[in-house]
Structure 1
């Protein structure tokens, strides 16, 4: 299938870099504001509460100073009003995001003179151009549509990764909106997947007929791709997104649960569960599984490279899941021949998954037994009985003034005023300048 583009590659790449750097400026806002609110809706609301402003002097930033990359260079990395230093990470994120737009374009969208669709990094012989077909979309529109679809995912992954690096959390505001978008877009267009939600090797029945009972043969026989996928493309798009969401979040949840049961510690955070569920909603369950198993490799390389300088055992795992997802998208055509051998098993995948899960649990149990025998486990804290005296001590401690280490009292303010401490006490109670404090009668 030959593609025809009217604009030269250099012009498209220039436009994409500019668009990516502008969006990168907005991503900086997301990274700064989303973690500042605990609730999901408040996280989203914080993005448009007010324009960008200096956190020290609270002055709104001029539009000309907000130009990506060049605005920071023009200000020399300082606020125009109060001269507060502005972190160089802001222009670096803008520049990196522009490069990311270009990088994904060069891999996903074939370039050159009359390129072929098969040159795309996510091309598959059983891809949407065949199952269910483009359904009236031109090949050029198809590759651009899928490119934009994947860039939404990559932008969400970048925001989640930067927040995870800073605070070791992945707020829902950085992942849930993209996940909802993925389900809606995948259902609406029906051609955004990489591979169908289900496919199998047509020779399975013949290959496994000797080792499987007769009642299994009808289940493992059939066409390469089920016929209903071509007949109901929108339903198939919904199935790809929802099953990918469930599998992506479920595999991380399973590792999290097994790690807690056998290692007595949290192996992965719940934010990682939502992150991979979002990835599954975009890519489908097969590429998501590949990305999940690639992530430990990148994490291990990072740990080995920084082991001399970093002593902290806990690492933010979200960035490595994000990196593995990006590598899966960029190199799917090279990875898929290996993964297809596994996914081609069809219904036989289920007993294999159960076997591998049991094997993984046995390995974790063995690690726990070795750590316990070597005395490497932290001592268990015995929980005593909470008595009335403990409750009284707790309540008393909660009412101690943290500045003077004395219990708070409702003394007449005239005593503090006579000692010259009336304004200090009001300030410590957070009443300085408040209307409630200013309207009180003068004790003298």
Structure 2
């Protein structure tokens, strides 16, 4: 118990540190020139960046208490909002990092009967997911500021997630395939393919790669539907790589849940902003990140949710035909909603008034 509380406090301190560092990084907008030097400007005060902000370091979180551009431009730091952003980002990181650590260690939020990692990788999964949360915070701040998610955040994240999943073979929240639909499941438990137990490292690789592929395909299909029905892409390519990164860390089942949950978090956040009198346009990336955090925090209860003895989440993810039907229904629903948006936009506004 004491060790768990100490780890939670350590995660809170680490979150405060990297939250402020990430806030510093989003002040720097690097633009490579022909000379190979990033000739950018401070995002908040528009002061030119010094030449030492090069292509190898310009995108990294800046050291010190202020971003380099504001530090070197005389008095420019007084014009920008860095301290407020850093304070908000730091506190958000504290809540996200320590909240997940507490749920993982004290609430056992990811313990399911099918997955029993050894003690080393049980702790390893905590820090594996804390790394994902740090990357999600970085992507969220960047998306909120510039409506873009750079590849230098998501693509290395995918690579690290896949490499660690392969090296450990024991970081998954749930295995690549678990079948709870066997009539004798109460006698011998769910059916898990034997090769998963025999080749855990290859299973880790397959589990992570399939999660990344699932995330990328889901968002890309939604982009294609949006372009076909609305005539323009509603989501950016950064959203594709963001959900792919989430999938590489969480696996394909959790990625599907994140994808389905994100529209509801978007509705909730939008309604809350309207309620407090601050309606604003929020990109989709932060909603994916928030949904991923919620899924990580509540995975045990999501996976074991069983409203009836026949209908349950874990039964669904072990039934191939049911998944195909659900996917078809989901795509049809998305197409109908997008078509409704197109019809609504085509209505003459003056006549409605």
Task: Describe the shift of the 1:43–1:293 C-alpha distance in structure 2 as closer, same or farther (beyond 3 A).
Answer: farther
TM-aligned CA distance change 1:9 to 1:174, over 3 Å: same
Structure 2 residue aligned with 1:379: none
1:45 paired to 2:45: no
Alpha-carbon separation, structure 1, partners of 2:343 and 2:68: 53
Q: Could you tell me which residue of structure 2 aligns to residue 164 of structure 1?
A: 143
Give 1:224 shift.
1.5
Partner Cα distance (2:235, 2:197) in 1:
38
Partners of 1:363 and 1:99 in 2: CA distance: 34
Deviations along 1:9-61, one digit per CA (max 9) or x if unpaired, are: 4433333322222222322233233x43479x9765314697545534517xx
Structure 1 match to 2:108: 120
Q: Does residue 346 of structure 1 match 2:353?
A: no
Question: What displacement does 1:367 show?
Answer: 4.7
Q: Describe the shift of the 1:288–1:56 C-alpha distance in structure 2 as closer, same or farther (beyond 3 A).
A: closer
| Equivalent residue pairs, number | 315
1:362 CA drift (Å): 4.2
Deviation for aligned residue 1:306: 2.6
Residue 287 of structure 2 corresponds to: 320
Look up the SS of the partner of 1:45 in the other structure: coil
Inter-CA distance 101–290: structure 2 relative to 1 (3 Å threshold)? same
Aligned equivalents of 2:141, 2:108: Cα separation in 1: 28
CA distance in 1, matches of 2:337, 2:20: 45
| CA–CA separation in structure 2 for the residues paired with 1:124 and 1:171 | 35
Instruction: Evaluate the alpha carbon distance shift between residue 223 and residue 169 of structure 1 in structure 2; reply closer, same or farther with a 3 A threshold.
Output: same
Instruction: List aligned pairs for 1:275-290, cutoff 5 A.
Output: 275-290=242-257
CA distance in 2 between partners of 1:168 and 1:334 (Å): 33
| Gap runs ≥5 in structure 1 | 60-78, 111-118, 207-221, 377-444
Q: 1:25 to 1:363 in 2, by over 3 A?
A: closer
Q: Secondary structure at the match of 1:154?
A: helix
Tell me how far apart the structure 2 counterparts of residues 232 and 199 of structure 1 sit (CA, whole Å): 16
Structure 2: gaps (5+ residues)? 39-53, 306-312
Q: What is the CA–CA distance in structure 2 between the aligned matches of 1:203 and 1:29, rounded to whole Å?
A: 53
1:355–1:295 CA distance, 2 compared to 1 (3 A): closer
Offset at residue 8 of structure 1 (A):
4.0
The 3-state SS of whatever aligns with 1:244 is helix
Superposed counterparts of 1:359-438, under 5 Å? 359-365=333-339, 367-369=341-343, 371-372=345-346, 374-375=347-348
- 1:293 and 1:303 mapped to 2: Cα distance? 17
Correspondence for 2:194? 227
Cα RMSD (Å) of the superposition?
Answer: 3.1
Aligned to 2:124: 145
Q: How does 1:264-303 map to 2 (within 5 A)?
A: 264-303=231-270
The one-character-per-residue Cα deviations of 1:291-345 (angstroms, maximum 9, x if unpaired) are 1111111111222233374566x53111111111100000111222343232131
1:20–1:94 CA contact under 8 A, matched in 2: yes
- Greater CA radius of gyration, 1 or 2? 1
Deviations along 1:141-177, one digit per CA (max 9) or x if unpaired, are 2322000000111111101111111111111122222
Matched, 1:154 2:168: no
| Aligned match of 1:55 | 69
Aligned to 1:101: 97
Q: 1:329 and 2:317 equivalent?
A: no
From the superposition, tell whether residues 195 and 91 of structure 1 become closer, same or farther in structure 2 (CA, over 3 Å).
Answer: same
TM-score (norm 1): 0.63
What's the counterpart of residue 12 of structure 1? 7
Give me the whole-angstrom Cα distance separating, in 2, the residues matched to 1:38 and 1:258.
Answer: 34
Conserved? CA contact 1:44–1:173, under 8 Å = no
